[in-house]
A and B are shown apart, each in its own frame.
Chain A
Amino acid sequence: MSKRRKLTDLILKVLIWLFSLITVGFLAGMVIYIVSRGISGISWEFITGNYNLYKGETGILPMIVGTLLLIFTTIIIAVPVGVFAAIYLTEYAKQGLFVKIIRFGTESLAGIPSIIYGLFGYIFFKNTLNLGFSVMSGALTLSIMVLPIIVRTTEEALLSVDPGYREGSLALGATRLQTIFKVVLPSAMPGILTAVILSMGRVIGETAAVIYTVGSVARIPAFDKLLTSSVRTLSVHLYMVALEEADFVSAFATGTILMIIIAALNFAANRLTRRFINGRTKGLGPTI
């Protein structure tokens, strides 16, 4: 090779390493910075304490409860719809206009920014359906938002089920539906679980769509009003304490907790994905 070609080669190689290093470096810097300042703020009282500024209480138990409520409700609504849609797309639908339109719908939903979801949830679920600022308004909004993730991931899982299983079951006289529920879905279970975990991550990380549907009341709701009260999720809490109250101790600690949760969810999703698609990983990446 000529000298110039060798030099270009070297420069490109250095750039590839350098830019990859920047990517990892930024992440590492951000994680280290936030965790090192946040970890000391995390204590038993912080996690299990109540939040009341007048009494000087800065615990995040209400936010943990609120986040769990929102996750749970969203998953309950979104998973059946998403899984059924994926079953339809992989097991029943013939490639045609209808499927094309549905794919277009999935892609569009994945591309809509979260603030638009927030506006929509505010005007439709909160105002038009009169659900108010509540877990229900938020869960309905977020379940639309996570549908693309669930449909995509479940579809992948269904497609990776060995066709021999289906044929064997059908040959034994099982109907199509029996085959789906007793043979295909059980083997696609790790994939569906991955979809659930990825949706959880999305709900935990969401703020713009949550703040104008769920609201930001930092109280544990009464037991008979779990779905009709406004709660505050951890992400919304981080936003509020950082920007409105300038309480950076709580903000760093909450940010640390959020990062730990996301890392754990990513780890779990990766573990599961390896079981249904050999060797590939799936974290909270883009859904397209």
Chain B
Amino acid sequence: MNGCISGNKRKFTYEKAIELIFALSAFMMIISVAVICFYIFIEGVPPILKIGISNFLFGTRWAPTFKEPSYGILPMILASLFGMLGAIIVGVPIGIFTAIMLAEMAPKRIYGLLKAAIELLAGIPSVVYGFFGLTVIVPFIRTHFKSPTGTGLLAMIIILSVMVLPTIVNISETALRAVPKEYKEGSLALGASKMETVFKVMVPAAKSGILSSVVLGMGRAIGETMAVIMVCGNIPNMPKSLLDTVSPMTATIAKDMSYAGPFHQSVLFGIGVVLFVFIIFLNLILNFVVRKSLDRK
């Protein structure tokens, strides 16, 4: 070959250049996270400081459009937290039991059906959930409970419980499947029944995976916007009962962005900061407490 050495050299630098592009692409993800954090915080922190951190976080009155505006977001924080807790309380048992069904009990045909259902649940757009909530769950609550509108915390919890299911089911199933076969066989050989084996051996062994599914489900619930906005009532009352109309952080941001004036808008970014901090906190829990033993091989 003519000029073999110089050709190889060119090839070498060319390969290096492409490798650099690959590395930069991977690096894009870090840059994105950094830029997102930067812009949300740079926009959201100043109004929080201007209002005063405690006035903002613990104020109970949200009246951004009044002549003497008030920017307390405690009702929204509580609505978000209660919604999330409710969804976890209802969704976690259903999700884990469904995961057990998938990992241990389902005959092949039922497995396929159930798995397809979970995937569809995960794929259905959140507006469709919201619309279903608006046309079915809200009227149901209005007629069967003493609630003038039917919208509120209860409707929100019902919708969110279903929306966290795919996350909980899929990750718990993976965790249950990753339990070494010997555990199960050992337990069965010692005379434990199938259910005793599942609940006393396999679930504890898959604990960290199941816990991470719960934490991820919490993230999904607290971050959900469009489904919640259609059923929560969008009035930032302090949630005192399940039937109260509420407006969690996500719904307030999405709803108010369409008409907010300049300062009101930057306060919405302030709510975004609070939401972001919650998410970061959940991620930290996931990384430091739960993930440790889950690292995929």
Contact = CB atoms under 8 A, between A and B. Distances in A.
B199 interface: yes
Nearest to A11: B195
B127 A119 contact: no
Contacts of A31: 120
Interface in A71-103: 80-82, 84-85, 87-89, 91-93, 101-102
A212 B257 CA distance: 8
Given A176-B15, A201-B123, A288-B171, A108 B33 contact: yes
Contact of B194 (A9, A91, A284): A9
A102 B30 CA distance: 6
Interface residues on B, range: 35 or more
A225 interface: no
26 contacts: A16-B98, A16-B101, A23-B121, A30-B129, A31-B120, A33-B135, A91-B22, A104-B287, A105-B33, A107-B286, A112-B36, A112-B223, A113-B275, A114-B225, A119-B43, A120-B35, A147-B32, A207-B225, A208-B226, A235-B226, A238-B125, A243-B230, A258-B128, A281-B119, A283-B115, A283-B123
A113 B162 contact: no
A129 to B, nearest CB: 11
Given A5-B193, A9-B195, A266-B123, A23 B165 contact: yes
A177 B18 CA distance: 8
Interface residues of A, number: 92
A251 interface: yes
Interface in B220-259: 220, 222-226, 229-230, 250, 253-254, 257
B219 interface: yes
Interface in B257-297: 257, 268-269, 272, 275-276, 279, 282-283, 286-287
A31 B136 CA distance: 12
A184 interface: no
Nearest to A256: B128
A16 B97 contact: yes
A235 B127 CA distance: 7
A-B interface, 3 closest residue pairs, ranked by CB to CB distance from nearest = A113-B223, A283-B119, A284-B123
A5 B253 CA distance: 52
Contact of B26 (A27, A85, A177): A85
Contact of A147 (B28, B125, B134): B28
Interface in B89-122: 93-94, 97-98, 100-101, 105-106, 113-122
Contacts of A151: 29
A101 B220 CA distance: 23
A249 B159 CA distance: 22
Nearest to B164: A286
Name the prevailing secondary structure of the B interface residues. helix
Contact of B136 (A33, A84, A207): A33
A231 B128 CA distance: 20
B54 interface: no
Contacts of B275: 113, 115-116
A278 interface: no
B166 interface: yes
Given A23-B169, A114-B225, A116-B275, A207 B125 contact: yes
Name the prevailing secondary structure of the A interface residues. helix
B281 to A, nearest CB: 11
A207 B250 CA distance: 13
Given A122-B257, A238-B131, A88 B100 contact: no
A230 B39 CA distance: 23
Contacts of B39: 120, 123-124, 128
B19 interface: yes
B171 A286 contact: yes
B122 A283 contact: yes
Contacts of B40: 116, 119-120, 123
A88 B26 contact: yes
B208 interface: no
Interface in B29-55: 29-30, 32-33, 35-36, 39-40, 43
A89 B279 contact: no
Contacts of B276: 112, 116
A84 to B, nearest CB: 4
A205 B196 contact: no
B142 to A, nearest CB: 16
Interface in A106-141: 106-109, 111-120, 122-124, 128
